[in-house]
Chain A
């Protein structure tokens, strides 16, 4: 699977500025051997690029492969095909020592504020861990942990407390602090604000936006909520069953979705204005998208064909390729 990555790397070297992250034809299968071959790939030929300072949003329903892509990038999940390169170097199959070298530059914030911090360790110990791994002395690591806590709006004294002593929003800010403590270039945020209340969610989103502006960070912002994604992301990638359905500028994808699935996704996201919401509901119902029942994707065809109101015979036999429609790239025969 990595035979042709070498060529690809050479080709990339010619490009002027390397992308922060380049994902090409990524395939991830869970399980091994016969079992892996029998289930559809969790990620099936996904490509996208994140430029320095850019935030790319990854949206889709539960099980569409968003987290799997994040995990593959972070080296937490084995890649079955395709390539991932970070700042121009191939990290598709990077071992833990190569990861450790770039660990400081490529970091993560996870969803669940309850399990993303070890409940048995103090905040200080958790925050210092990434620094200690890099050989920074304990005293200095502790000071930096305190500084970083203040930056995310928590008191320095928090270093001696345990995660259970903080609210969900506070814990999530601690997770952000942990991710940013060693000056990363790219942060993978997997549902980083989904578990939070509105006002705390806004605090963390603002914090992520501020830190991006201050430090020129890039984010891969994974979320199921397209409105949240649209706040932070310049570009959006819409996934369905491990495949990219639509990708383009955030405003174009969210306000003028071209793919039937994106249309359904946008229409289903409720807005807090009753009259407009009633309108959206009518629109959603008129789209006639079939319910998300557990139907198997037809092999080879469009993965959305079982639910798509526009599906034809062509859709069930031929997988549509991404093609440019307006400002976006859309994988639909009829977009």
Chain B
């Protein structure tokens, strides 16, 4: 996640502009299709201006002839020019297909929105009805209609639309339901917005994309069915030209003049293909894959670039001991642009846990991901060293990193479900990982998976192995994710907010589990968290990060009990867990403003704009200096002063006169 905190200018776009534009233009098929359809419509509407013949002009010398100079595409059984007839009638044919689209898509969408909004019972009824509609023999119904009212093409196409709407309903229903379950829909309901308002204002806009895609596809279906009907003799009445009529005419001469079918058929086929191509182009969502992680190819290229940059740095002296992680002067930045993390230095000794704390947007996750070479695309290590087991991971190639990732260094993330593929059972994924990393046989891997699950405290491991991710709870999923991370027997575990999404009761169990794993296996952990309670519970050392820098680091006990940096003071004062019910203040301390965006970092102390103690000395860059308490370090010019005077971060008040003004204005 690239920190994005303050409002940024995003160009405004209407829902319509969002999907059509680039997706259509970037797909060659879709673009060609759109060009063909547009040309066809324009050519057809302007036909009287440029066509060589009128549609009913008869040239008896050319009856049933093939292409010739006079008739480029030949002429039909009455000697009428095919080219002229095809183009003149294009608009009409497309128009009648459009009837199917409009009726089918509109009805299907309305049904889906109604079913999604009106509750289970209505959904049940509508679904039953559409199932019946789908099971009706469409052809028979259409033929019956033709028998009753003749070949009234618009009516037939409309009825076809009704029949097709059932299928569209099915496609739309899931999406409409998921839009209905958004919290903003709940919020609107609480406002008293009626079901119709909800559907129109909050659900329909979200369906636009699907509506457009379905329209393109149904359009093609409509044309095909129209042609099919014509082929079996139920085309439109003869005099007015239409593609259906021409196909009908040609079908009577399949044996004596087979050419007659070719031009109309080809144009029809092209048009159907175009509509399908447009549908496919619009339907492809460009960012459907996980966009937060770069593709291996991009990473490979990037690490090569970064390796070149970092190789210029001074050679590594005094390589740390095995199992020791030493991060030295690490800087991470957008390629060729803003730094996101600057000059981060910390050490993690084997068998210890380091906490990286701070608010979101302070660079914790970027720092953690850089340890695994998993920075998002467009972001890379700009400077510094990540020393692990005698090598500098900052300049390692992607291939080297692939060998380390998952084996020596493993990751668990905040969303355990994200580590698990919903399509496969827990057992399958776990054994696959074990086999990939350890080259074990199938049975061996299975036994290993079972023992891993037991190791992470899962009681009924056998049942869990057979379960799919959605069948297990969040706490269970995090245990499985930890088991997955442990499958490579890592010596360093990078845990990015591993318990944030869990209940406190489950969090406590997971933390106990991690603690015992550290004790038993001697692995070390880098734990990213925003929860100071979690830090107090499990971390031996802590580095407090603010705006891409470490502002204070040292032993957990000395930092939390005796913070030296104003930001740490402030975080503790803002934490309701730091107080019991009796000493709970009326207001918690806050930090005014918010974490600045990387491009807005000042040259001096980055916390200055929010700091209660800021003064003129704070406008020059502040180095990280020993804090005097154990081996701690702090980045604040007033650290000593604050320590001596024992200053506390105060809860700031909102000026109430402002509040009253606004309330009065409201009442007026």
A: which residues have CB within 8 A of B? 32, 61-63, 71, 74-76, 78, 96, 99-101, 103-104, 106-108, 110-112, 115-118, 120-121, 126, 129-130, 133-134, 144, 147-148, 150-151, 153, 158, 161-162, 164-170, 175, 178, 183, 197-203, 205-207, 209-210, 214-215, 224-228, 230-231, 250-251, 254-255, 264-265, 267-277, 281, 284-285, 289, 291-294
CA distance in complex: A275, B361 (Å): 29
Q: Which of A63, A169, A197 has the most CB of B within 10 A?
A: A197
Q: Does B336 contact A (CB under 8 A)?
A: no
Q: Does B387 contact A (CB under 8 A)?
A: no
The answer on a CB contact under 8 Å between A116 and B187 is yes
B residues near A99, Cβ cutoff 8 Å:
189-190, 192
Q: Do A272 and B536 form a contact, CB below 8 Å, given A147-B662, A151-B662, A227-B576? A: yes
Q: Do A110 and B186 form a contact, CB below 8 Å, given A103-B192, A270-B577, A294-B476? A: yes
CA distance in complex: A323, B474 (Å): 33
The answer on a CB contact under 8 Å between A161 and B7 is yes
Closest chain B residue, CB of each to CB of A215: B663
The answer on a CB contact under 8 Å between B505 and A292 is yes
Q: Do A291 and B459 form a contact, CB below 8 Å, given A103-B191, A178-B187? A: yes
The answer on a CB contact under 8 Å between B575 and A198 is yes
Q: Which 5 interchain pairs have the tightest Cβ spacing?
A: A270-B533, A100-B192, A272-B532, A103-B192, A202-B574
Q: Does B457 contact A (CB under 8 A)?
A: yes
Mark out the residues of chain B between 474 and 525 whose CB falls within 8 Å of any chain A CB in the assembled complex. Answer: 474-476, 502-509, 511-512
The answer on a CB contact under 8 Å between A203 and B576 is no
The answer on a CB contact under 8 Å between A111 and B576 is no
Mark out the residues of chain B between 443 and 462 whose CB falls within 8 Å of any chain A CB in the assembled complex. Answer: 457-460
Closest chain A residue, CB of each to CB of B587: A206
The answer on a CB contact under 8 Å between A273 and B7 is no
- A sample of 4 more A-B contacts (CB under 8 A), given A96-B194, A110-B183, A255-B580, is A129-B201, A151-B659, A224-B503, A272-B572
Q: Does B582 contact A (CB under 8 A)?
A: yes
Q: Does B295 contact A (CB under 8 A)?
A: no
Q: Do A166 and B7 form a contact, CB below 8 Å, given A108-B187, A133-B192, A205-B588? A: yes
The answer on a CB contact under 8 Å between B570 and A199 is yes
Closest chain A residue, CB of each to CB of B120: A32
23 residue pairs from A and B, CB less than 8 Å apart: A61-B505, A74-B190, A75-B189, A99-B190, A116-B184, A120-B205, A129-B193, A133-B197, A150-B662, A165-B10, A166-B7, A199-B574, A206-B587, A206-B651, A206-B654, A210-B587, A214-B660, A268-B508, A271-B533, A272-B560, A277-B533, A293-B458, A293-B476
* B582 smallest CB distance to A (angstroms): 6
Q: Do A228 and B576 form a contact, CB below 8 Å, given A74-B186, A147-B666, A268-B504? A: yes
Q: Do A274 and B659 form a contact, CB below 8 Å, given A202-B589, A254-B581? A: no
CA distance in complex: A158, B8 (Å): 11
CA distance in complex: A228, B504 (Å): 12
CA distance in complex: A16, B155 (Å): 67
The answer on a CB contact under 8 Å between B190 and A224 is no
B residues near A203, Cβ cutoff 8 Å:
590
The answer on a CB contact under 8 Å between B588 and A281 is no
Q: Do A292 and B509 form a contact, CB below 8 Å, given A130-B192, A167-B5, A199-B570? A: yes
CA distance in complex: A237, B653 (Å): 30
The answer on a CB contact under 8 Å between A214 and B360 is no
Q: Do A227 and B577 form a contact, CB below 8 Å, given A209-B586, A272-B536? A: yes
The answer on a CB contact under 8 Å between A269 and B577 is yes
B residues near A293, Cβ cutoff 8 Å:
458-460, 476
Closest chain B residue, CB of each to CB of A281: B537
Q: Do A254 and B7 form a contact, CB below 8 Å, given A202-B588, A291-B509? A: no
Closest chain A residue, CB of each to CB of B358: A197
B residues near A206, Cβ cutoff 8 Å:
587-588, 590, 651, 654
The answer on a CB contact under 8 Å between A165 and B7 is yes
A residues near B472, Cβ cutoff 8 Å:
294
* A126 smallest CB distance to B (angstroms): 7
The answer on a CB contact under 8 Å between B186 and A108 is yes
- The one of A120, A129, A215, A264 in contact with B191, judged by C-beta atoms closer than 8 angstroms, is A129
CA distance in complex: A289, B508 (Å): 12
CA distance in complex: A203, B651 (Å): 10
The answer on a CB contact under 8 Å between B537 and A277 is yes
* A293 smallest CB distance to B (angstroms): 5
Q: Does B240 contact A (CB under 8 A)?
A: no
B residues near A78, Cβ cutoff 8 Å:
119
The answer on a CB contact under 8 Å between B184 and A270 is no
The answer on a CB contact under 8 Å between A270 and B590 is no
A residues near B460, Cβ cutoff 8 Å:
293
CA distance in complex: A169, B120 (Å): 35
The answer on a CB contact under 8 Å between B533 and A118 is no
The answer on a CB contact under 8 Å between B504 and A272 is no
Q: Does B182 contact A (CB under 8 A)?
A: yes
* A206 smallest CB distance to B (angstroms): 5
CA distance in complex: A129, B663 (Å): 19
A residues near B197, Cβ cutoff 8 Å:
133
The answer on a CB contact under 8 Å between B507 and A268 is yes
Mark out the residues of chain B between 325 and 345 whose CB falls within 8 Å of any chain A CB in the assembled complex. Answer: none
CA distance in complex: A108, B190 (Å): 7
The answer on a CB contact under 8 Å between A274 and B359 is no
CA distance in complex: A335, B169 (Å): 55
The answer on a CB contact under 8 Å between A269 and B503 is no
CA distance in complex: A270, B578 (Å): 9
Interface flags for B587-604 (1: CB within 8 Å of A; 0: not) read 111110010000000000
B residues near A268, Cβ cutoff 8 Å:
504-505, 507-508
A residues near B177, Cβ cutoff 8 Å:
none
Mark out the residues of chain B between 162 and 192 whose CB falls within 8 Å of any chain A CB in the assembled complex. Answer: 182-184, 186-192
Closest chain B residue, CB of each to CB of A168: B360
* A131 smallest CB distance to B (angstroms): 9
Closest chain A residue, CB of each to CB of B509: A291
- The one of B9, B184, B508, B536 in contact with A126, judged by C-beta atoms closer than 8 angstroms, is B184
Q: Do A183 and B666 form a contact, CB below 8 Å, given A197-B530, A206-B590? A: yes
CA distance in complex: A206, B576 (Å): 11
Q: Does B531 contact A (CB under 8 A)?
A: yes
Closest chain A residue, CB of each to CB of B472: A294
CA distance in complex: A1, B530 (Å): 46
Closest chain B residue, CB of each to CB of A122: B12
Q: Do A272 and B577 form a contact, CB below 8 Å, given A147-B665, A199-B571? A: yes
The answer on a CB contact under 8 Å between A130 and B191 is yes
CA distance in complex: A166, B5 (Å): 6
* B382 smallest CB distance to A (angstroms): 25
Q: Does B535 contact A (CB under 8 A)?
A: yes
B residues near A166, Cβ cutoff 8 Å:
7
- The one of A76, A120, A153, A273 in contact with B190, judged by C-beta atoms closer than 8 angstroms, is A76
The answer on a CB contact under 8 Å between A231 and B186 is no
B residues near A270, Cβ cutoff 8 Å:
504, 507-508, 511, 531, 533-534, 536-537, 577
B residues near A274, Cβ cutoff 8 Å:
536, 556-557, 560-561
- The one of B359, B531, B665 in contact with A200, judged by C-beta atoms closer than 8 angstroms, is B359
Q: Do A129 and B10 form a contact, CB below 8 Å, given A150-B662, A202-B589, A272-B532? A: no
The answer on a CB contact under 8 Å between A291 and B457 is yes
Q: Does B202 contact A (CB under 8 A)?
A: yes
- The one of A111, A126, A165, A178 in contact with B8, judged by C-beta atoms closer than 8 angstroms, is A165
Q: Do A214 and B659 form a contact, CB below 8 Å, given A158-B7, A294-B476? A: yes
CA distance in complex: A19, B192 (Å): 23
The answer on a CB contact under 8 Å between B575 and A272 is yes
Interface flags for B14-38 (1: CB within 8 Å of A; 0: not) read 0100000000000000000000000
- The one of B187, B458, B503 in contact with A61, judged by C-beta atoms closer than 8 angstroms, is B503
CA distance in complex: A26, B487 (Å): 46
* B464 smallest CB distance to A (angstroms): 9
A residues near B590, Cβ cutoff 8 Å:
199, 202-203, 206
B residues near A100, Cβ cutoff 8 Å:
192, 194
The answer on a CB contact under 8 Å between A209 and B183 is no
Closest chain B residue, CB of each to CB of A112: B183
Q: Do A269 and B190 form a contact, CB below 8 Å, given A169-B594, A294-B476? A: no
